[in-house]
Structure 1
C-alpha cells in the first residue's frame, strides 16, 4: 500500500476537483492507487467539479449575515440563474455568509474555514458534484462598529439574507440602536440604488480623481478656454463628480432635496447622537464578470443537425 501523503492528496484534488476529505477517503479505499482513486471519486459523483471549473459562473446569489455591531456579505456564483432557486445552493450561500461573519472579510480565509466537518471550499466542491454546475465563492467582505450598527439591505431578495444586490453600511454612533438600524437600512437602500464608489472624496483612488481631472481639462481646452478658466472648470467639475460617486455628497434617494450627509445630520436628533459612516460594501451578482453569450436557436439547430 502506497503511503497517502499530502502531495498525493493534492495531486488527486487537482485532477478531480474533489474535496480534501473525499480525496483522502478515495486514496484510503484504493490503498493509495491514484488512478483507482480517480475512478472511485467518479463513481461517487465527486469528481464533477473539475469538469465544470472552466465554465463561466456569473449568476448565483449574494448572501448577508449579521450580528450586533457587525455584518458580512459574500458573492457565490453559479452558471445559471435557475440554481439560485435551488434549496441546496441557498443553504450553501447562507452557510458561507455565516462563516464569513466569524472569520472576517478575506475570501481565502473563508474558503479555508471549517463548516462542520468540511472546509467551505470542500462544501462548494460537494455542491458542484450534487447540483452539476460550476460554483465559486468570488468575494467576501465584513464591517464592524465599536458603537452603533451595521445596516443592511438586500435587493431582489429571494429569502432572508439572500438576493441579487447586497449592501452593508457601518454607522458609528452612541445613539439609539433601533433608530440607527432603521436609518442604516434606508442608507443601505440608497447605496443599492446609487452605487457610490466611496464614502467621500478622500476614499477615491488618486488615479480615479486624476483621470476625471484629465477629462474635464481636455473638454475645457477643446472649447478654447484659457488656463485660468480651465482650472476653475476642473474644480467645479470635480464637485459635480463627487455628487455622483461619493456617498455623502450624493442626493439622498429618499429625499433628493438633501445630500446623504444632510440627511444623516438631520437624523441625529431622532437617533440621539452624532452619526458617522465609517464604511460600506455593495455587491451586485456577476458584476464585472464577462458572461458568455449564446445563440439558443443556433444551438438547437446544431443539435438537430447532429441527430
Structure 2
C-alpha cells in the first residue's frame, strides 16, 4: 500500500480546498492516486449536494457586478448567515455573477451550465462548494440592468439595488439608497402593475362596503384607498429618504435627473422558511444528517 505523505495531502488540499483529514482519507482510499482521489471526492460531493438539496436555503447574499453600461444582480442562497459571510461563498457568488454578465444570461438553469475560467461549470463549482462548506447552496435568480448611467447600492449582504438613470450622479446614488430603504414597486404610478392595483381595489371595496355607506361614498373611499396605495409604492410619490420633506419627484426635477428603471433584490424574498428549531431539535437534526 502506498504511503500517504504530507506533501500528497497538501497537494490534494490545494487542489480541492477540503480539510486535511478529508484529503488524507481520500488518498488512503485511492491508494495514493491523487487523480483517483479527486474523482472520488467529486462523486461524494455530488451525493452530498443531492442530500443537502432538500434543506431550505433562505439566507445568502446579493452580489452585483458591473461592466460598462451593464450590471447584474445575482442572489446566491445558503442556509446560514455564517456561511453567507464566508470568503469561499463570496468568491463563488462573484465568479458566478461575472460569468453570467459576460454571457448575458439570467436564467438560473442556464447559468448552472456556464463554464468558468478553471474549466468547471457553475454547477460543478457549486457542488464542490457544498462539499467543502456543508450547506445547501443555490444560485436562485439574476437580473441584468442596462443604462446610460447606473447607480449601485448594497446594504450589507442582504439588499442590492441597481438604478438606470440620466442626470446628476449624486442624485442617482441617493435614489439607489432610497430604493433599498423604501422598496418601491415601480418608478411611477403608471408603471405599477395592474394586478397589484386591482388587488388593492378589491380589498378597499370590501372594507368600504362593510361601512354600510351609500354607493357614491363607497366609490370615493375606494378611490382614496387606491390613491394612498400608489403614494406608498410609486417611487416618484414617496418622500425622499435623504430629505423627508421632499418627494422623490421634486428631487429629480430639481436636479435634472430621470430614472428609467431599477431592480432591487433582497435575500430570501418569497422563500418560505421553516419555523426555527430548538437547540435540542437542532442537535437531533445534525445527528440524523451525519448518519
Do both share a fold (TM > 0.5)? Answer: yes
Query: 1:293 maps to which residue?
Result: 275
Q: How does 1:44-83 map to 2 (within 5 A)?
A: 45-83=45-83
Q: Give the drift of 1:196.
A: 1.1
- CA gap of 1:43–1:206, structure 2 versus 1, over 3 A, is closer
Say whether the 8 Å CA contact 1:243–1:251 is kept in structure 2: no
Q: Which stretch of the first structure deviates more once superposed, 222-231 or 134-143?
A: 222-231
State the TM-score, normalized to the length of structure 2: 0.78
Q: Give the drift of 1:209.
A: 0.9
Query: 2:19 maps to which residue?
Result: none
Unaligned residue ranges in structure 1 (runs of 5+):
1-35, 157-162, 269-274
Q: Which stretch of the first structure deviates more once superposed, 291-300 or 83-92?
A: 291-300
Structure 2 distance, partners of 1:267, 1:57, is: 42
Say whether the 8 Å CA contact 2:45–2:127 is kept in structure 1: no
Q: Secondary structure at the match of 1:261?
A: helix
Q: Secondary structure at the match of 1:184?
A: helix
State the TM-score, normalized to the length of structure 1: 0.74
Q: Give the drift of 1:282.
A: 1.0
Q: Give the drift of 1:44.
A: 5.7
- CA gap of 1:226–1:98, structure 2 versus 1, over 3 A, is same
Unaligned residue ranges in structure 2 (runs of 5+):
1-35
Q: Give the drift of 1:233.
A: 2.1
Structure 2 distance, partners of 1:108, 1:298, is: 37
Q: Secondary structure at the match of 1:283?
A: strand
Runs of 4+ residues over 6 Å off in structure 1: none
Say how many residue pairs are matched: 249
Query: 2:132 maps to which residue?
Result: 130
Q: How does 1:18-29 map to 2 (within 5 A)?
A: none
Q: How does 1:110-125 map to 2 (within 5 A)?
A: 110-116=111-117, 117-125=119-127
Query: 2:16 maps to which residue?
Result: none
Structure 1 residues 155-202: Cα deviation after superposition (integer angstroms, max 9, x where no partner): 02xxxxxx111111111x2x4xxx42x322211111111011122223
